[in-house]
Amino acid sequence: MTQALWTSEDIELATGGAATAPFTVTGGVSIDTRTLQPGDLFVALTDQRDGHDFVEAAFRAGAAGALVSRPVNGGPAVQVDDVLDALTALGIAARIRSGAVRTGVTGSAGKTSVKEMLARIYAAFGPSHSNAKSFNNHWGVPLTLARMPEETQRAVFEIGMNTPGEIAPRSHMVRPQIGLITCIASAHLEGLGSVEAIAREKADIFAGLEAGGTIILPAEDAFLNYLSARARELCPTGNVETFGRSPDATARITGYETDGRTSRITVDVVGRSAAVTIDAVGEHWALNVAAALLAASQTGRSVEECAAALSGYAPPPGRGTAETLALPDGGSFTLIDDAYNANPASMRAALASLAQRTGVRRLAALGDMREIGSTSGDEHVALAGPIVDAGVDGVFLAGPEMQRLAEALPPGLPQASAPSADDLWNQLQKALKDGDLLLIKGSNASGMARLADRLRQWSAAAGLGKMDGGPEGPARVS
C-alpha cells in the first residue's frame, strides 16, 4: 500500500460518525483481533459476539483506531449509530474514490474458485483487490470494499447468499462493471425453496451492474435463457457473453487433458485461443478457467496475457487441493481436500475428478450436504451412481443424511459410517494404505475439514514417531 487507507476525517465524512481523536489507518480493516495487524482499523461488529468486548484487545494488538457505536477505552475511535451501516458506508466510499474495474461473481458452485483465479490474473497487471477467503455475506462484502486501496486498478468480489433478497443490495454496494454467474444448482434450497428461486436470487448479481456492463453466463446451464432475460431487465444496456463447451459460447472450451495431478485446458475466446495449466484435476475446472479468462479479458488485457497469468494456479485450501501424506507404517497416500463446502453439483464434480486420478485405491470420505431442504434425502441417495461411476473402492460416510446414501450403495462396496466426522476417525485412519487416494468432502458445517486437518497432524506425527490413533469412536462397518 503506497498511502494511508483511511484517516479518521475520511471515516467521519463517509459514516457521519464523530472521532474521539485523530488517527490514520496505515494497515487494513479488521473485525477479528486474532488476525489484526498493527495499523489496522478495528470494526466492532456485533454478530455471534459483540465486537465492542474486544476493542481494548485490538488496541493492545496495535489497532490505529476503532469503529464503534458506544464509548470505548484504549485508543481513538469513530463513534457511529450502527457499526454495520457505517462499515457499508465506508465500503461505498472506497468504491467511489477508486477507479478500479470491479467484477462481481456468484453462483451455486465454483464462485470462490473463479474469484481466486481472477484475483491471480488481476494481481499480475497492477494493484488489485479481492475478498479474503469467502467473505461474501452481509458483512463480508462491505468489509472487502472498505479494505480496497484507492490505487486499486482491478478488483473482484464474491457475492453469496443463504436466503432471498441478499444479493441485490450487495451488488448495489459493489456496482460491478462485470457480473458473472458460474452455475445454478440445488444449493441453499432450505432458504430459497426451489432451484427456480435460486436462479432468481443469483440473477440479482446484475442489479447493481454499471450501465453498459458485461453479463457473463454459463452457456449450458438450464437457466441460461431466464438468466439472460433477467439480466437485461436489470441492466438493459448490458452485453451478454457466455462460457462453456457450446459452439456458440463466447469463451469456448476446446480441450481438456490431465495427467492425474495437473490439467491443461484450452479455451477459444472470440477466435483467440489460449492454453492454461493448473494444479487441479476435473473437467469442471475447465468451466472455471473459461469463465475467468472471459471476465479478465474484459479488463483491458488480451486473452493470451490472462492465460499466462492464470497458468500455475492451484486451488485454495479445502477446494480440491491434493497433497501427499506419510503413513505411520511407511508409504504414503494422497489427500484430496475438498472439504470447504458441498452441494449435489459440487459433490458430483468432485467424484468425477477422483475418477481421473491414479492410485492403488480410490476412497471417498463424505459428510452431509447441508441446506438442501426437503429434497435432501433424495439428493444424498442420488450420489450412489456417481460413486459407482467414479470407481470408488471404499466409502466413509459421516452424518445422518449420509446414512441414507449408505443404504443405497451396492452391497459389495466396502463402507464405514458414523454419526459425525469426528466419530469416523478410527475407521478411516486404520483403513488407509500406501498408494491410496482419499477424497474428503462435505458441507462446512459437517466437520469434514477437521478430519482433513487431523489426517495432516497424524501424518506429521508419523514422521516424528509420535503416533496417536485417537479415542475410540462408534463408527460401524457394514
pLDDT digits (tens, 9 = 90+) for 149-170: 999 999 999 999 878 899 999 9
Identify whether the C-beta of residue 400 lies closer than 8 Å to the C-beta of residue 372.
no
Give the global pTM.
Answer: 0.87
DSSP string across 256-306: EEE-SS-EEEEEEETTEEEEEEES--STHHHHHHHHHHHHHGGGT--HHHH
pLDDT for residue 188: 59
Q: How many CA atoms lie within 13 A of 136 on its CB side?
A: 20
pLDDT for residue 475: 31
Under DSSP, the state recorded for 194 is: S
| Residue 385 CB neighbour total at 10 angstroms | 12
Q: What is the pLDDT along the chain (478 residues), one digit of tens a residue?
A: 458 999 999 999 999 999 999 999 999 999 999 999 999 999 999 988 999 999 999 999 999 999 999 999 999 999 999 999 999 999 999 999 999 999 999 999 899 999 999 999 999 999 999 999 878 889 999 999 999 999 999 999 999 987 889 999 999 999 999 999 999 987 656 667 788 999 999 999 999 999 999 999 999 999 999 999 999 999 999 999 999 999 999 999 999 999 989 999 999 999 999 999 999 999 999 999 999 999 999 999 999 999 999 999 999 888 888 999 999 889 999 999 999 889 898 999 999 999 999 889 999 999 999 888 888 999 999 999 999 999 999 999 999 999 999 999 999 999 999 999 999 999 999 999 999 999 999 998 899 999 999 999 999 887 653 333 332 232 322 2
pLDDT for residue 469: 33
Task: Considering only CA atoms, give the Rg of the chain.
Answer: 23
pLDDT for residue 387: 97
pLDDT for residue 371: 80
All cell numbers assigned to 177: 462493471
Range list of β-strands (E), 141-270: 154-158, 178-181, 214-218, 239-244, 251-258, 263-269
> Can you say whether residue 271 is alpha, beta or left, with left for phi > 0 and alpha for psi between -120 and 50 degrees?
left
pLDDT digits (tens, 9 = 90+) for 100-148: 999 999 999 899 999 999 999 999 999 999 999 878 889 999 999 999 9
The closest of 153, 160, 157, 200 to 175, measured between CA atoms, is 157
pLDDT for residue 192: 74
pLDDT for residue 465: 39
Question: Exposure pattern of 226-244 as b/e (b: 16+ CB <10 Å)?
Answer: bbbebbeebbeebebbbbb
**Strand pairing partners for 398?**
367, 418
How does strand 394-398 pair with strand 415-418? parallel
Cα(385)–Cα(284) distance, integer angstroms: 18
CA distances 246 to 162, 220, 243, 466, Å, are 30, 7, 8, 53
Identify whether the C-beta of residue 402 lies closer than 8 Å to the C-beta of residue 475.
no
SS (H, E, C) 116-140: HHHHHHHHCCCCEEECCCCCCCCCH
Q: How many CA atoms lie within 13 A of 70 on its CB side?
A: 8
Sign of the dihedral defined by the CA atoms of residues 305, 264, 242, 234, in that order: negative
